[in-house]
Structure 1
Amino acid sequence: MTYRDLLPRESLLWIFAAQLAVLLPHFARLPLWIVAGWIAAVYWRAEVSRGRRPLPGRAFKLVAVAGVLAGLVLSYRQWFALEPMVALLAVSFTLKNLELVTRRDAFLSLLLAYFVAATLFVFEQGIPHAVYGTLAVLVVTAALAAQPGGPSARPRRALGLASRLLAQSVPLMLLLFLVMPRLGPLWAVPQDSASASTGVSDSMSPGDFARLSQSDEPALRITFDGPVPPPDQRYWRGLVYSDFDGRRWTQGFGVDPREGGRVTWRDSERALPEVGPRYRYQVIQEPTHNRWLFAMARPHSETGGVGETADDRLVRSEPVYSRLAYDVHSWPRDSLPGEPALSEFERRRNLQLPPVGNPRARAWASRLRERGLSPGEISAEILGFFNESFTYTLEPPRLGRDSVDAFLFDTRRGFCEHFAGSYVFMMRAAGVPARVVAGYQGGEWVEGEQYLLVRQYDAHAWAEIWSAGRGWHRIDPTGAVSPERIRDGLQRAAADEFMREALLPVHRIPLLNRLRLQWDMINYRWYRTVISFDSERQQDLLRDLLGEISAPRLALLVGLPAAMALLGIWGWLWLAGRGRPLPPAERLYKRFCRRLARSGIERESGEAPRDFAKRVARERPRLGPMAASITTAYERAAYADDPAAMKQLRRLLRGFWPLVRRG
């Protein structure tokens, strides 16, 4: 290893800056010990560069690798998933600092930095993350440009060169984006099952939906091909709860596809009418880390990997780890043929109640059943009771052990889950099959882009009951207490309590609310234009550009812009070379080469100065020592920006010309 192979200190600082730039977005999701390990490795390597510590030995490295593997095993439950693989890449990136000695080590570390920068888009594909990822790549490229050290490591020079290189790559990037075959995205790799999910959960207990009402994060964006359903029909079903243990509602065994629930996939037949009233729309769903999707009643989707369940929902074959777009057709239930009779198993499932608990509610339901009322009349009695003396609130009081009794006869203040859960309990106790449905209701119409924006605070729970001849039909007990919640949304129904805990009440400031909608529209365009640019949209765009997709036309589409770009770069370099004066050291060295060429020793194209000096020593031994001294002075003047070397170069050249003349 020579001195020239070692890393200059300023180049080492650039490497640390590049590492920080690409690792910073991952600090929030990486285990704390990995972040602390990177800081410790950087500190150790900085101390080595100051001469205060030695590089770690082989035994220490083996212990560090063993400790890292043990830490990864303990930190992640599922090894062959996305998060542990990214963590392994970050750890490898960190450990490389312990042997960062030569320029080759720096080159490998910075190449690894490009991969770490790309992993940011595994988790997030929004506009801010795209901007940050571009800046991180700029810093890594600048670190590469700064590796020679000296003037090359100056921030303005390194960042300027990196900016020019990235700018020159933009046309090629756009061309490849348009014509390269669209493969499955990297973020389709399974992620760790321990990752937290967002939005509606697979269970419901009092207070769950009230907590969601404090979040204004987007959940769904829906565009319609044709008529838009009125506000009181915008129910986006996601889950059906059929099991009740006295306090918590869950899906129950045999409903979730992971537990044996039946799913009808796209390639199977389903008895749905080809014509008639229906809604056609596309849903863009935010990541939930769960498999359930959201759609209106009676949904059918032709999107790959999306299927329909027996209880009238959509599910995906894989969890939704990133934004997902899927097309849906929904038929109003009243327009479909009569429902088949409810099976005995489904009847028992949707009449299930715990053997004990909530005695007052059970007694009231028994009285309703003994009066011989029909399911519709029983429902009307319960809804009328809700309408008389109940309050819709985002801050319901805590309920005791018999939660249904406490809500119906004591507190009488609740959110949607209180009304839906107690209603279904009463209907079941009265002998009517019923179930709780969870999802979202309503949404905000964005006029600029013509789509419906559904936020987390639109989360809602309602009920469905079964009646002969009609089948399952929706009953929303919340509408009996607060009809404005269904008609105008949560913000109007609970204006005094809505988003009370928010640090900045955006919804109360018209200007900020408009800016928020504008930002959401920009994100919506970004997703539809860039993120969801799949093979089908690529084929449509190429047909619009070429008319017919063929090999010659594709070659012309790729080759012509590439040739024009190369010609433009060559012309720019040629003009820049002609118009820019040479540095003094370069100008003196070129005079030295021209004088030797006139005496018969011509420097070859691409020949390094030191190699040229060695050849001069072989062909003209008397000129060899002076040529070597001139070359050393030139390198120090040109690359180290040494004024003393510049003076020495001029002095050596003045003494060299007489030697050349004497031959």
Structure 2
Amino acid sequence: MASNRDLLPRESLLWIFAAQFVALLPQLSQLPLWIGFAWAFAVYWRLEVFRGRRDLPGRALKLLVIALTVAGLAQTYQRWFALEPMVALLALSFTLKNLELVSRRDAFVSLLLAYFVAATLFVREQSIPYALYGLIATLVITAALAAQLGSFSARPRRALGLSLRLLAQATPLMLLLFVVMPRLGPLWNVPQDTSAGRTGVSDSMAPGDFTRLSKSAKPALRISFDGPIPPPEQRYWRGLVYSEFDGRTWRQGFGVDPRNGGRVYWNSGERPLPQVGPRYRYQVIQEASRSPWLFALARPASDSAGVGETADDRLVKRSPVYSRFAYEVRSWPRDSQVIQSTLSGAERRRNLQLPADGNLRIRDWVERLRRRGLSGEEISSQLLALYNREFTYTLSPPALGRDSVDEFLFDSQKGFCEHFAGSYVFAMRAAGVPARVVAGYQGGEWVSGEEYLLVREYDAHAWAEIWLDGRGWQRVDPTAAVAPERVRDGLESAAGEEFMRDSLLPVHRFDILVKLRLQWDMINYRWYQTVISFDSEKQRDTLQRLVGELSPLRMALFFATPVAVVLFGILLWTRFTGRGRKQPVVERLYAVFCKRMARAGITRRPGEAPRDFAERIALESPPLAEFSGRATDAFERAGYGGDKEALNELRRLLRWRLGLSFRVSARKNRLMGH
């Protein structure tokens, strides 16, 4: 069993555990539950060691714990080289360090690991609340480091005060480095586990999927325009195209999905652009979706790094969007382009595909119209008129069975956008007209304070496109035939009382809450524009505005001048505040004590806590042990507890007993050759 001399004091352990808890807390919702229990057990074991009830684990037990840890990670994660298992491994290393936490060196290693664990907080999210929490975590970890200097420094007020001063002094240097340091690729570009939960529009569409999204008011896109802004009825932000149907679920299918045979043009020059200029230029800031789909108006092109264009007028990213992502877009609406004359055989077959059986009633309905000699456009008009006369737009549609299209069209006649788009495309394909479902977002709320369009999750929408010879792909939104206000004014206007009915706090019903929510979103938008998206291009523009033409000499002066000014200001502040501030009586008395101890041959070390100093006096000069202990106890009670009797006791000790004790101690030291 380790001796008491080897163990860290109680205050140091408590500060270390507090720093670990603060660093791990936001990770516990993402990490497996057993890692949180492992940390709690390691802390319990280490406290038992401190109480003398258990021994520190030996080598065999440590090897067993490591083996169990590796087995747990292998069982939990499907692959090792991804973000989630790497963060979990760091958290476990951080946790297991408690089993060998003995010396101050071990404490420093553990707290340095705490900084890295706290930094992983920004892997998944870089919002303002996370940034504030990161500052709090840094404050606590730095305070824990300060507390390792001794029991005097471990007092909460002193440790936190020292941490605040250190962070305040580091802030100017941090801001300077933020501006001048080269922009490096962020940590969160490493591979992540794509099997984890997703948000936003999915890879497939079944009845009820978009109804689920209608319950979320989370931001999805923020779009700022350089020039004209499309009217509400033209704000269709397309992201996915579904061409394969199995009777209930729509999917992209082979040749459409870029991960499964779909072609992507990664360079803007690969696909010729229209001769006329783009009608819209804009920047999209997309929230994390954990999928590669980007959202833009029809016929988009982007020069942003890692963004490509598909043959069916969509944008995709080389890697999934794990964190907020900004990209520039130019769009050419189809009415400004030369129309493709024919549809390839493979594409025609793909967009006419239907299951071999099922949904017989809609097939018979379409066949009767075709026998009457109606064209594809006329059948489309008949179906849209039917939607308008007999159907109801609702966020609470009834459940559908195997023949979902038939049950929707001829039985329930109540649905959301995916019901209308899916049934319309099925009917048009049955009529021999190539058709496909398009998913994305429609509409958006204009934020005049920052001049951008805010698109939320509940703006998720599905519509249809049909191929007409001589006119190409044409957008048809069957939902607009039932609830035109959905396209013109948004989901809230179309859904009425059903809108966000199940939310805990119906923000949309209170004007003040609506305004506060918009204000908060504007703050987040400005935060992203100013801080998160501060890339190398923005850095270069900022430096050019500050110093003009960039050169090594100017950069050196720009870097050195503020550092020199800050250091000079600190020097002046220290000198003037140090002269003007009167040292407290108890500190002056303790300084007298330290000076006389130095004359006796025992000098207090820099940063040494009073209690640690008293323990060293007892080891090096036993005759002074009782006196130094009483003097230190009186100093601590007077200095931290405000005990006036203790202050008087310290005066008496220094006045009468200290002189005799020091003379005796000094004489003995000289005789012993010290």
Task: Name the SS of the counterpart of 1:151 in structure 2.
Answer: coil
Task: Name the SS of the counterpart of 2:486 in structure 1.
Answer: helix
Does the CA contact (< 8 Å) of 2:594 and 2:603 recur in 1? Answer: no
Q: Deviations over 1:35-59 (max 9, x none)?
A: 0111111111111111122222221
Task: Name the SS of the counterpart of 1:113 in structure 2.
Answer: helix
Q: Tell me which residue corresponds to 1:335.
A: 336
What is the distance in 1 between the residues matched to 2:372 and 2:133?
67
Which deviates more, 263-272 or 547-556?
263-272
1:348-387 matches, within 5 Å, as 348-387=349-388
Change (3 A) 1:420 1:82: same
Does the CA contact (< 8 Å) of 2:153 and 2:609 recur in 1? Answer: no
What is the distance in 1 between the residues matched to 2:662 and 2:428?
107
Does the CA contact (< 8 Å) of 1:77 and 1:194 recur in 2? Answer: no
Q: Tell me which residue corresponds to 1:442.
A: 443
What is the distance in 1 between the residues matched to 2:490 and 2:60?
64
What is the distance in 2 between the residues matched to 1:436 and 1:86?
39
Does the CA contact (< 8 Å) of 2:224 and 2:284 recur in 1? Answer: yes
**Pairwise CA distance, 1:273:** 2.9
Q: Give the letter aligned to residue 282 of structure 1.
A: Q
What is the distance in 2 between the residues matched to 1:343 and 1:475?
21
Determine which of 652, 655, 659 is the counterpart of 2:658.
652
Change (3 A) 1:638 1:283: farther
Does the CA contact (< 8 Å) of 2:624 and 2:665 recur in 1? Answer: no
**Pairwise CA distance, 1:526:** 0.5
What is the distance in 1 between the residues matched to 2:202 and 2:462?
11
Q: Tell me which residue corresponds to 2:261.
A: 260
Q: Tell me which residue corresponds to 1:25.
A: 26
Q: Deviations over 1:192-250 (max 9, x none)?
A: 12211101111011111111111111110100111110000000001000000011100
Change (3 A) 1:657 1:574: farther
**Pairwise CA distance, 1:572:** 2.8
**Pairwise CA distance, 1:649:** 5.8
1:69-108 matches, within 5 Å, as 69-108=70-109
Which deviates more, 344-353 or 192-201?
192-201
Task: Name the SS of the counterpart of 1:222 in structure 2.
Answer: strand
Task: Name the SS of the counterpart of 2:497 in structure 1.
Answer: coil
Which deviates more, 239-248 or 649-658?
649-658
Q: Tell me which residue corresponds to 1:581.
A: 583
**Pairwise CA distance, 1:6:** 3.6
TM-score, structure 1 length as denominator? 0.92
Change (3 A) 1:564 1:381: same
What is the distance in 2 between the residues matched to 1:455 and 1:397?
25
1:51-66 matches, within 5 Å, as 51-66=52-67
Task: Name the SS of the counterpart of 2:237 in structure 1.
Answer: strand
Does the CA contact (< 8 Å) of 1:205 and 1:249 recur in 2? Answer: yes
Q: Tell me which residue corresponds to 1:527.
A: 528
Q: Tell me which residue corresponds to 2:405.
A: 404
Q: Give the letter aligned to residue 365 of structure 2.
A: W
1:299-338 matches, within 5 Å, as 299-338=300-339
Q: Tell me which residue corresponds to 2:642.
A: none
Aligned residues: 648
Task: Name the SS of the counterpart of 1:320 in structure 2.
Answer: coil
What is the distance in 2 between the residues matched to 1:5 and 1:559?
45
Q: Give the letter aligned to residue 99 of structure 1.
A: E
Change (3 A) 1:502 1:533: same
What is the distance in 2 between the residues matched to 1:655 and 1:406?
101
Q: Does 1:147 align with 2:151?
A: no
Which deviates more, 61-70 or 334-343?
334-343
**Pairwise CA distance, 1:654:** 4.4
Does the CA contact (< 8 Å) of 2:179 and 2:539 recur in 1? Answer: yes
Does the CA contact (< 8 Å) of 2:222 and 2:284 recur in 1? Answer: yes
Q: Tell me which residue corresponds to 2:391.
A: 390
Which deviates more, 258-267 or 419-428?
258-267
Which deviates more, 173-182 or 365-374?
365-374
Q: Give the letter aligned to residue 587 of structure 1.
A: A
Change (3 A) 1:659 1:146: closer
Change (3 A) 1:607 1:463: closer
What is the distance in 1 between the residues matched to 2:57 and 2:8?
17
What is the distance in 1 between the residues matched to 2:609 and 2:487?
80
Which deviates more, 361-370 or 510-519?
361-370
Q: Tell me which residue corresponds to 1:183.
A: 184
Task: Name the SS of the counterpart of 1:237 in structure 2.
Answer: strand
Q: Does 1:213 align with 2:214?
A: yes
Q: Tell me which residue corresponds to 1:223.
A: 224
Q: Deviations over 1:358-378 (max 9, x none)?
A: 111111111222333333222
Q: Tell me which residue corresponds to 2:643.
A: none
Change (3 A) 1:630 1:646: farther
Q: Tell me which residue corresponds to 1:511.
A: 512
Does the CA contact (< 8 Å) of 1:585 and 1:637 recur in 2? Answer: no
Does the CA contact (< 8 Å) of 1:630 and 1:649 recur in 2? Answer: no
What is the distance in 2 between the residues matched to 1:394 and 1:548?
58
Task: Name the SS of the counterpart of 1:67 in structure 2.
Answer: helix
Q: Tell me which residue corresponds to 1:592.
A: 596
**Pairwise CA distance, 1:571:** 2.7
1:184-203 matches, within 5 Å, as 184-203=185-204
Q: Give the letter aligned to residue 305 of structure 2.
A: G
Does the CA contact (< 8 Å) of 2:220 and 2:455 recur in 1? Answer: yes
Q: Give the letter aligned to residue 8 of structure 1.
A: P
Q: Deviations over 1:302-329 (max 9, x none)?
A: 1000000111100000000000000000
Q: Give the letter aligned to residue 241 of structure 1.
A: Y
TM-score, structure 2 length as denominator? 0.91
Q: Deviations over 1:134-180 (max 9, x none)?
A: 00110000011111332211111110000000000000000000000
Task: Name the SS of the counterpart of 2:498 in structure 1.
Answer: coil
Q: Give the letter aligned to residue 500 of structure 1.
A: R
Does the CA contact (< 8 Å) of 2:149 and 2:608 recur in 1? Answer: no
Q: Give the letter aligned to residue 574 of structure 1.
A: R
**Pairwise CA distance, 1:630:** 11
Does the CA contact (< 8 Å) of 1:242 and 1:350 recur in 2? Answer: yes
Change (3 A) 1:117 1:201: same
Q: Tell me which residue corresponds to 1:248.
A: 249
Does the CA contact (< 8 Å) of 2:621 and 2:665 recur in 1? Answer: no
Task: Name the SS of the counterpart of 2:467 in structure 1.
Answer: strand
What is the distance in 1 between the residues matched to 2:101 and 2:164?
26
Q: Tell me which residue corresponds to 1:619.
A: none
Does the CA contact (< 8 Å) of 1:253 and 1:259 recur in 2? Answer: yes
Which deviates more, 54-63 or 88-97?
54-63
Change (3 A) 1:102 1:585: farther
Q: Give the letter aligned to residue 429 of structure 2.
A: R
Does the CA contact (< 8 Å) of 1:634 and 1:646 recur in 2? Answer: no
Q: Does 1:284 align with 2:262?
A: no
What is the distance in 2 between the residues matched to 1:23 and 1:197?
23
Q: Does 1:131 align with 2:132?
A: yes
What is the distance in 1 between the residues matched to 2:498 and 2:621?
88
Q: Give the letter aligned to residue 408 of structure 2.
A: F
Which deviates more, 2-11 or 119-128?
2-11
What is the distance in 2 between the residues matched to 1:659 and 1:430?
109
Q: Does 1:112 align with 2:113?
A: yes
Change (3 A) 1:168 1:631: farther
Q: Give the letter aligned to residue 273 of structure 1.
A: P
Q: Give the letter aligned to residue 135 of structure 2.
A: T
What is the distance in 2 between the residues matched to 1:216 and 1:417?
19
Q: Tell me which residue corresponds to 1:618.
A: none
**Pairwise CA distance, 1:124:** 1.0
Does the CA contact (< 8 Å) of 1:387 and 1:480 recur in 2? Answer: yes
Does the CA contact (< 8 Å) of 1:586 and 1:638 recur in 2? Answer: no
Change (3 A) 1:158 1:485: same
**Pairwise CA distance, 1:576:** 4.3
What is the distance in 2 between the residues matched to 1:193 and 1:428?
33
**Pairwise CA distance, 1:106:** 0.5
Q: Deviations over 1:468-493 (max 9, x none)?
A: 11111100000011101100011000
**Pairwise CA distance, 1:568:** 1.9
Which deviates more, 625-634 or 88-97?
625-634
Change (3 A) 1:349 1:635: farther
**Pairwise CA distance, 1:587:** 2.4
**Pairwise CA distance, 1:589:** 4.4
Gaps of 5+ in 1: 614-623
